[in-house]
Chains A and B, each alone.
Chain A
Amino acid sequence: MTLISKATRSFLLACLVALAVGGVSCFWFLHKIMDNEASEQLLHEKEQVEEYVNEIGVLPKRWFSISDSLWAVRTHPPLPMVMGDTVLFSTVQKEYLAYRQLSFGIATLNGYYQVNIRKALYETQGLKQALLLAFSGLSLVLVGLLFFINYRLSRSLWKPFYRTLDTLKTFQLAQKEPLKFRRTSITEFQTLQSNLTKLTNQLRQDYQSLKTFTENASHELQTPLAVIASNLDLLIQAPNLTEEQLERIGNLIETVGNLSKMNHSLLLLTKIENGQFTDSVELDLSSLLSEKIDLWEPLIHDKGLALHQQIAPNVRLNIHKLLVDVLLNNLLGNALKHNQPNGSIRVELTQNTLILSNTGPQPTLPVDQLWERFSKGSSRTDSVGLGLALVKQIADTYHFPISYHFQDGWHRVQLSFNIS
């Protein structure tokens, strides 16, 4: 729910509650007042009758001067006063109408009488209905107007906020320029923007220095590695080395080899992150993939693995040649390395997707860690765990969605390209 709709919803709810309570109590007060008024009028008329009787001694002849609906009935004993409501059928309006009736006993010179005074209530009911209608109408217009004003006001008030959010959404760690927010006159949003600017600048700086560090460290490592490697190369040429000594040196050479491969991959990762591979050209992925498979096929057969391939012809893609090499080599190398005896590898290329599946033991890593650097599914010392991180980085660079599934003994990596 957006901020504005949340605020509007609360506003609307409050309005409705206030209107309902106000309307009901208003109506109730109105009803009470009119009700009292009717009773008081009847009592007033009663007083007039009593006054007349006190002065003259008999009931007045002309009722109409006192009330429009008054009649007297002779009774024997004196009667108590009764006030009550009743309905009578009107022959004119063809419906039942509400009346209030006051009956009281009175002693005249001619004996006891019961005097009845009746007053129509339906007139006040009509009035009440009219008032209610007017009130509701007015309320609705008022609420509508308030709602509209509030909505518009909120919209314009929060506009800089939403703009700030939109700008923030575009933020990328690797971007070279600081975030540029649109100026706003509201102090709170200014504070927000300046803090966001500070925060994102710090983030960019940290990220940049981290990258620079990785790059420098990798570069600086090259020369010492070269020193170790060349000395080891010399060392194995020495005559009279025992088998044990040779094996040890061999181990060292292998480890240095792994180390320099790792270093190379790290450098490559940093370079891809830095966007140093921008010069993509349109390549024929189908033929590239076939070439790669030709390269790997002898090894695949050597390991007793079956290879199934389904490659759609002429799949063209805008991508850097080196990166696509790294991508395919790592994917194929992985499919081979993490396979099982008598297993198989399946390569499928369509216009939109590249799917590489291979049989193999269940992965020991959670899927979401699979793409991370140095996360290894096995304790093999000959794998450094940068291969899939490279694949992911390359896929991310070109905004190719990549996914991994393990099902029924098959590892399946799917890469989709948005050809546009």
Chain B
Amino acid sequence: MKILIIEDEESLAHPLREYLASEGHVCEWVSTYQAAEEKIGVYDYDCVLVDIMLPGGSGLDLVDLLKKTQSQAGIIIISAKNALDDKILGLELGADDYLTKPFHLSELNARIKSIQRRRQFAGNREIKFGDIRMVPDSKEVWVNDSEIVLTRKEYDLLMYLVANANRVLSKGAISEHLYGDEIDQANSFDFLYSHMKNLRKKLSEHGCPDYIQTVYGVGYKLAA
């Protein structure tokens, strides 16, 4: 996908670019409102990441502009403000998602994948990893033609792992994806262990190889 990053903080934009590039995306980066306006006017993008507070203007206006000119682009707002009003306004303007800083790159990756999936109308709606086959529309999971019944959290966990396959995921990133800021880290890690244990058990019961590797001291990695 072709992605435009509109973010005034270079030290944040840099790892974003690097990470997304390693996922096979083509990334461009601008740091001001004017530069973003120009880019949007000239090129077409599949996805735009936009910060709200920008030198020269508000990212929300860019969302508005994008919606008027390029309705095809998926839009993800990245903001330091976890203000509900901004979130609602951004989504009302037509943004697809809203991420509050600080966020994990794997979370951003999962959201971009989800946008990508939504844009791939028609055709292949399934996600495959090794013997695992996931159907997002019906939230079904199949292993070797037998369906596994997962709880909602287990499904979300597996989806997150598959979206970030072959990458090391920290416990913090996964538990934040599952529980947001609602639950503090100590308890959410406990939740994660418990879900992970159950997920592994269910997968292996259906003859699925153990793809989930434990990365000592850090977290997990889904690898074939």
Residues of A within 8 A of B (CB): 219-220, 222-223, 225-234, 236-237, 243, 246-251, 253-254, 256-258, 260-261, 264, 267, 298-299, 302-303, 322, 325-326, 329, 333, 336-337, 380, 382-384, 387
Contact A223 to B19, CB < 8 A, known contacts A230-B105, A249-B218: no
* A-B CB pair tally, cutoff 8 Å: 129
Decide: B105 and A234 in contact? CB cutoff 8 A. yes
Q: How far does the alpha carbon of A380 sit from the alpha carbon of B9 in the complex, in Å?
A: 34
Indicate which residue in B173, B182, B185, B215 contacts A233 across the interface (CB closer than 8 Å). B173
- Flag whether B168 is at the interface (Cβ < 8 A): yes
Contact A329 to B218, CB < 8 A, known contacts A230-B16, A299-B190: no
Closest to A249 in B: B218
- Interface residue ranges of B6-26 to A (CB < 8 Å): 9, 11-12, 15-16, 18-19, 22
Q: How far does the alpha carbon of A261 sit from the alpha carbon of B186 in the complex, in Å?
A: 11
Decide: B103 and A226 in contact? CB cutoff 8 A. yes
Decide: A303 and B190 in contact? CB cutoff 8 A. yes
Closest to A225 in B: B102
Chain A residues with Cβ below 8 Å from B80 are 219-220, 222-223, 226
Chain B residues with Cβ below 8 Å from A257 are 170, 172, 176, 185
Most buried by A among B81, B105, B184: B184
- Flag whether B217 is at the interface (Cβ < 8 A): yes
Closest 4 CB pairs of A and B: A247-B217, A257-B172, A250-B218, A382-B186
Q: How far does the alpha carbon of A155 sit from the alpha carbon of B80 in the complex, in Å?
A: 58
Closest to B103 in A: A226
Residues of B within 8 A of A (CB): 9, 11-12, 15-16, 18-19, 22, 80-82, 84, 100-106, 167-168, 170-173, 176, 181-187, 189-191, 194, 215-219
Shortest Cβ distance from residue A397 to the other chain B in the assembled complex, whole angstroms: 16
12 CB contacts below 8 A, A to B, read: A231-B11, A233-B15, A233-B104, A236-B170, A247-B216, A247-B218, A253-B172, A254-B170, A257-B185, A303-B190, A329-B183, A336-B187
Shortest Cβ distance from residue A228 to the other chain B in the assembled complex, whole angstroms: 7
Chain B residues with Cβ below 8 Å from A247 are 216-218
Q: How far does the alpha carbon of A334 sit from the alpha carbon of B181 in the complex, in Å?
A: 15
Chain B residues with Cβ below 8 Å from A336 are 187, 190
Indicate which residue in B9, B22, B181, B190 contacts A261 across the interface (CB closer than 8 Å). B181
Most buried by B among A220, A223, A248, A267: A223
Shortest Cβ distance from residue B221 to the other chain A in the assembled complex, whole angstroms: 9
Chain A residues with Cβ below 8 Å from B22 are 237
Chain B residues with Cβ below 8 Å from A253 are 170, 172-173, 218
Q: How far does the alpha carbon of A220 sit from the alpha carbon of B102 in the complex, in Å?
A: 11
Indicate which residue in B19, B101, B172, B215 contacts A246 across the interface (CB closer than 8 Å). B215
Closest to A279 in B: B84
Q: How far does the alpha carbon of A414 sit from the alpha carbon of B16 in the complex, in Å?
A: 46
Closest to B181 in A: A264
Shortest Cβ distance from residue A377 to the other chain B in the assembled complex, whole angstroms: 13
Decide: B217 and A230 in contact? CB cutoff 8 A. no
Chain A residues with Cβ below 8 Å from B218 are 236, 246-247, 249-250, 253
Chain B residues with Cβ below 8 Å from A249 are 218
Decide: A333 and B185 in contact? CB cutoff 8 A. no
Contact A250 to B12, CB < 8 A, known contacts A219-B81, A333-B187: no
Chain A residues with Cβ below 8 Å from B101 are 222-223, 225-226
Q: How far does the alpha carbon of A299 sit from the alpha carbon of B185 in the complex, in Å?
A: 14
Indicate which residue in B102, B183, B194, B215 contacts A298 across the interface (CB closer than 8 Å). B194
Chain A residues with Cβ below 8 Å from B9 are 223, 226-227
Closest to A258 in B: B185
Decide: A337 and B172 in contact? CB cutoff 8 A. no
Shortest Cβ distance from residue A383 to the other chain B in the assembled complex, whole angstroms: 6
Q: How far does the alpha carbon of A337 sit from the alpha carbon of B184 in the complex, in Å?
A: 10
Closest to A380 in B: B186
Q: How far does the alpha carbon of A9 sit from the alpha carbon of B72 in the complex, in Å?
A: 86
Closest to B151 in A: A298
Q: How far does the alpha carbon of A249 sit from the alpha carbon of B22 in the complex, in Å?
A: 20
Chain A residues with Cβ below 8 Å from B187 are 299, 333, 336-337
Indicate which residue in A267, A326, A337 contacts B186 across the interface (CB closer than 8 Å). A337
Chain B residues with Cβ below 8 Å from A222 are 80, 100-102
Q: How far does the alpha carbon of A260 sit from the alpha carbon of B19 in the complex, in Å?
A: 21
Q: How far does the alpha carbon of A219 sit from the alpha carbon of B101 in the complex, in Å?
A: 9
Decide: A233 and B81 in contact? CB cutoff 8 A. no
Q: How far does the alpha carbon of A234 sit from the alpha carbon of B164 in the complex, in Å?
A: 13
Shortest Cβ distance from residue B168 to the other chain A in the assembled complex, whole angstroms: 4
Decide: B217 and A250 in contact? CB cutoff 8 A. yes
Q: How far does the alpha carbon of A359 sit from the alpha carbon of B69 in the complex, in Å?
A: 60
Indicate which residue in B102, B182, B185 contacts A326 across the interface (CB closer than 8 Å). B182
Shortest Cβ distance from residue A269 to the other chain B in the assembled complex, whole angstroms: 13
Indicate which residue in A225, A232, A256, A382 contacts B184 across the interface (CB closer than 8 Å). A382
Closest to A384 in B: B184
Known: A223-B12, A380-B186. 14 other contacts (CB 8 A): A219-B81, A223-B102, A225-B101, A226-B12, A233-B106, A247-B216, A251-B217, A254-B172, A257-B172, A267-B82, A299-B194, A302-B190, A333-B183, A382-B184
Chain B residues with Cβ below 8 Å from A230 are 12, 15-16, 19, 102-105
Chain A residues with Cβ below 8 Å from B216 are 243, 246-247
Q: How far does the alpha carbon of A326 sit from the alpha carbon of B104 in the complex, in Å?
A: 22
Contact A260 to B171, CB < 8 A, known contacts A246-B217, A247-B217: no
Closest to B172 in A: A257
